[in-house]
Amino acid sequence: MQPHEGTLQPIHVTSSLMHDVKEAAKTDDLAHSINYSDLAKELIRNEPVFASLEELSLHTYDAFSQKNSLLDKHRGKVSELGICVIQLGPPLHCAHVGVESAATFNEDMWTIMCVRHFVDKLTCHVIIGVNPAERLEKQDAVSSMSIDSRKDGLQKEQWIDFRTITRTFTSSLFTIEALASSVAHKTLLTSSSCESVVFQG
């Protein structure tokens, strides 16, 4: 492997389609049903290298909307598509990172409606607590974050730097509330697309 080459990483992709199932339900005819197995195969066939989870999300939308795609015969019936991409081998200090988005289909193109980035079970090593004994050593504080990245969150200039977010937060605080505020503030500084951060600790 050359120094500039990337390393293959496992990911989990979930796609949810909102479409008219009336004909398939009424006739029980496979011709009116979406072949989900073939859709999954299409996504992983000749997959290119992706620079980010956001780029993979856009690739998935393009794969579903292009002419002669497996959804082409259902054009006009599929009105909305949701995609969730999770990196199973995430940066250090957390369980998962991912991007969830939703789009509507109109005039042969997808229009992204919302984007949410998330970090699950981020471990911060912090000094926190009121009692002197609690402040002698750093403790593990585990939290999760949901980042509202607005509808432009998949565009390259708005990508979220998960590696920066998941770096260990160095803090010496008294309260969980102050820790939550610190984490949210540092997260909002990483990208101009961040509109809000929901912190669960």
pLDDT of residue 170 exceeding 80 = no
d(CA 153, CA 27): 40
Would you kindly state where each structural domain of the chain is located, as residue ranges?
11-200
Per-residue pLDDT, averaged over 124-130, amounts to: 77
CA 77 → CA 21, 62, 81, distances in Å? 8, 17, 11
The Cα 95–Cα 91 span in angstroms is 9
pLDDT, tens only, 50-105 = 888 999 898 888 877 765 555 666 666 677 889 999 998 877 778 889 999 999 87
Question: Topology of domain 11-200, per CATH?
Answer: GTP Cyclohydrolase I, domain 2 (3.30.1130)
